[in-house]
Amino acid sequence: MASTLSPTLFYDLTLPKQGIERISYPATDLIYKLLHHIAADVSSFRRNCQVSYRLVEYARDLYDEINSRIREAESSGSWESYDAFDGAIRPLEEVLISLREVTEVEREEYLIDANPPEMAEQSIEAWISRSISDWHERR
């Protein structure tokens, strides 16, 4: 996770809304993990923050709703509940995977690439100048 990660924001994005009991199921484990990875990246964004937060919150709410449908299907044996959660898992996973690809690129914008040998071969001023010009090119 990035050093600029806000732990409070991360928890706000990943914890269920107040009054919702979260029970994890193997069928939604990938969604859970993707949500946490994306929330960690989004928590350190410096641009497009509000839209990114809303996407993660919406996905989190869908995750919790899918889990409530699983719980309902297990307790009642209802095929409607089964169909509801079964039809929602794959599309949400696909959206989160594509969102993950975007958040990884955005996160990389904030990291400065450097390794000790590279820094030892040039002056600090030259390294800073090159890093700034590289950043401008990647924008």
Per-residue pLDDT at 113: 53
Q: What is the pLDDT of residues 31-86, one digit of tens each?
A: 999 999 999 888 878 777 888 899 999 999 999 999 999 999 999 988 988 998 99
Tell me which DSSP letter residue 27 carries.
Answer: G
Domain extents in the chain = 7-108, 114-139
Position 16 pLDDT exceeds 50: yes
- Concatenating the DSSP letter of every residue in 61-86 gives HHHHHHHHHHHHHHHH--HHHHHHHH
Q: What is the pLDDT of residues 129-138, one digit of tens each?
A: 766 666 556 5
User: Is residue 13 a contact partner of residue 57, using CB atoms and an 8 Å limit?
Assistant: yes
User: Is residue 31 a contact partner of residue 96, using CB atoms and an 8 Å limit?
Assistant: yes
The mean pLDDT of 10-22, rounded to a whole number, is 86
pTM: 0.70
CB count in 10 Å sphere of residue 105: 11
